[in-house]
A and B are shown apart, each in its own frame.
Chain A
Amino acid sequence: MLSATLLVAGLAVSLGGLLIWLDGPLRGTARDPSDAIVELLPRIQCGQCGYPGCRPYAQAMLAGEAEINRCPPGGAATVARLAEALGRDPRPLDTSRGSASWSRVARIDEATCIGCNLCARVCPVDAIVGACNWMHTVLADQCTGCELCIAPCPVDCIAMTPRLRPLSIAESAHA
């Protein structure tokens, strides 16, 4: 009787210890819960949802602080996917928030550009190059079409144009 009790107690203690010991490494491989939500978004980083980027928006949705219909580039399909992933009711896309899309890129009219550098400072993906007082240009392969550079331009020389070169799967050489 005693030996059986001791055996069971010993098993309980050693298995418990094993679990506690494994807790660290096993937890380390778990992904951030917002990763799964971010991957449902188009990740244009336009901020048209009202949050400073796609990850903050995903975190806000996870916390229940944000509506799931605020991502214009994602459209209705993304709303549906978010609704399923978050277990919320789908709702129509809030079209008042903007119209960013992967299918367009910003283009700077180089003749008009005064080199103020304001656009380069707001670009979330550092896709605009140029030094103060010099011509600026957009790296089309890196541009996500977020439209964030349009508003700061004092001479309105940035326009959204159709993306001519298709997005590539591989990282381009000059990325």
Chain B
Amino acid sequence: MRELTLERRLLGGLRLAAHKQHTTTRPIRRGFVPRELIIPLPDGPTATDTLVAVGEPVLRGQPLAATGEGIAISHASSSGQVVAIEPRPMPGPPGTTAPAVVIHTDGRDQAIPMTPLAGQSLSRDDMLQRLQDAGLVGLGGALFPTAEKLRSRSEQFTLILNGAECEPYISCDDMLMREQARDVLDGAALMCDFSGAGRCIVAIERDKPEAISAIAAALDEHEDDRFELAQVPTVYPAGGERQLIQLLAGIEVPSGRYPTDVNFLCQNVGTAVALAKLYARGEPLTSRIVTVTGKGVRTPQNIEAPIGTPIAELIGAAGGYSGNVARLIMGGSMMGIALDSDARPVTKATNCVVAAAPDEVYTPGTARPCIRCGDCARVCPARLLPQELIRSLTGDDLERVASLGLADCIECGCCDVVCPSHITLTERFRGGKHSLALWTAEQAAAARAEARVARREQRLDLAANREAEERRALLAPMQGGREARQRAVQAVIERARSPSAAPDGDET
């Protein structure tokens, strides 16, 4: 096994107190089946056709919806009966809904027959199509379709297997690496094969010694010389895709470009396991590991939850609430979103649910004016100037906001934590990104409209000129005195009388 030594430090970032120890003492709870499943269907411009009807029985792994190209489809995550297909509230800002298939499970968890991909002779395109049909998406949180990420192929690629997991509360990747190190590496090897990557760096934060030794042992067993192990410093947000590349290779992914543009591919360890399961057993992605933690749950632990498990049932599986819950957070304490109800389901993006007790919730004090200390710029891992951004956002100067690079903000929340004036910067940036996107689109549409106005004027001018010319041509014989006029009139009369004359301009 080769180990990669790091010479670089992360740009910006923070050392945060860890809260992972509460959930790493127990093994992952597997085989949990909730009573109800609310499985979100892909939403968006591509219309989806549901493949099941209300009242029908379904089995685990059965596809629920077919979609257009590029979007992974949803599968039933356990066996049971479809009781409704309707829009349901989803985790996200209040009011987020998505069409969902609601299933009442029968507890038997029967699966449809599955054929492993291993042993089949499939072309590369067919293989990628299988990944898509299995609903494989990046489980790190961004849900980018795995097949899309693996579509470009180059020998120059370096695959970074992301096991950094820098968020203070989350331990699902840690536990997965401890318990399924073999699967993690099998999946990563497949990813290398697909993408042509000649090198794979498994990046794990130093605060996970058990995961590191499990992966190291599996690496020794695997004997694949493409693999390297890198222990990255425990600095938040070292697990960000762009941050990890900067940390490991010293390369910054340019603004508006993708890691593949600098020959890097990042994949989450959970995605690798999902791929390994698909390859070895033909299993589509129907479940994921979720860290259920916080002082508000009785037995914090990692649970393998079928996609669509209502949060309430997930909390129940972890012993239920222990009284005092101030806030329910999906995702980590830094980048997660507060949930307004525990009726929301687990999605493929749900890596963690924190039932936070009052003393765990960070409540910003009253915001005071910015004192220009510059602490926010010092911790910003994207090297932005948060204080300048907030100033331009307040002044609604979106042109400047765009040039300051708001689009590159990864919403990590470091600036919020250090701001001595308690300004809720990240929240404003999140909203600002939305207005910026709107503004950019409007500017583009305005430029298009202007071009169309110019073309229309040109056309109208042309038409007016042509009309004037035709008029002049028609009236030309009339010029030149009384006799010329009479001749012209006579000619017209004769033309009208002649029987061979085709009726002019009358088509009906």
User: What is A's interface to B at a CB cutoff of 8 Å?
Assistant: 38, 41-45, 53-55, 77, 102, 124-127, 142, 144, 165-171, 175
Q: CB distance A43 to B396 under 8 Å?
A: no
**Distance A53 CA – B450 CA, assembled complex (angstroms):** 9
CB distance from B298 to the nearest CB of A (A): 44
Q: Is the interface of A mostly helix, strand, loop or mixed?
A: loop
CB distance from A129 to the nearest CB of B (A): 13
Q: Across the interface, which residues of B come within 8 angstroms of A124, CB to CB? A: 449, 452-453, 456
0/1 string, B455-470, CB within 8 A of A gives 1: 1100000000000000
* B249 CB–A CB distance under 8 Å: no
* B440 CB–A CB distance under 8 Å: yes
| Of the residues B444, B447, B450, B456, contact of A168 by C-beta under 8 Å | B444
Nearest 7 A/B pairs, CB to CB: A43-B446, A167-B441, A125-B452, A167-B445, A169-B444, A144-B449, A125-B449
CB distance from B454 to the nearest CB of A (A): 9
CB distance from A120 to the nearest CB of B (A): 11
**Distance A54 CA – B396 CA, assembled complex (angstroms):** 22
Task: Say which size band chain B's interface belongs to.
Answer: 10 to 19
Q: A43-B447, A165-B45 are in contact. Are A125 and B453 (CB under 8 A)?
A: yes
Q: 16 pairs across A/B with beta carbons < 8 Å?
A: A42-B446, A43-B447, A44-B446, A44-B449, A45-B449, A53-B453, A124-B449, A125-B452, A126-B452, A126-B455, A126-B456, A142-B448, A142-B449, A144-B446, A167-B444, A169-B444
**Distance A41 CA – B453 CA, assembled complex (angstroms):** 15
| Of the residues A55, A102, A125, A171, contact of B442 by C-beta under 8 Å | A102
Q: Across the interface, which residues of B come within 8 angstroms of A43, CB to CB? A: 446-447, 449-450
**Distance A127 CA – B438 CA, assembled complex (angstroms):** 21
Within 8 A of A (CB), among B421-454: 438, 440-442, 444-450, 452-453
**Distance A125 CA – B445 CA, assembled complex (angstroms):** 11
Residue on A nearest B448 in the bound complex, by CB: A171
Given contacts A43-B446, A144-B445, 10 further A-B contacts (CB under 8 A): A43-B449, A43-B450, A102-B442, A124-B449, A125-B449, A125-B452, A125-B453, A126-B456, A165-B45, A166-B441
Q: A167-B444, A169-B444 are in contact. Are A45 and B45 (CB under 8 A)?
A: no
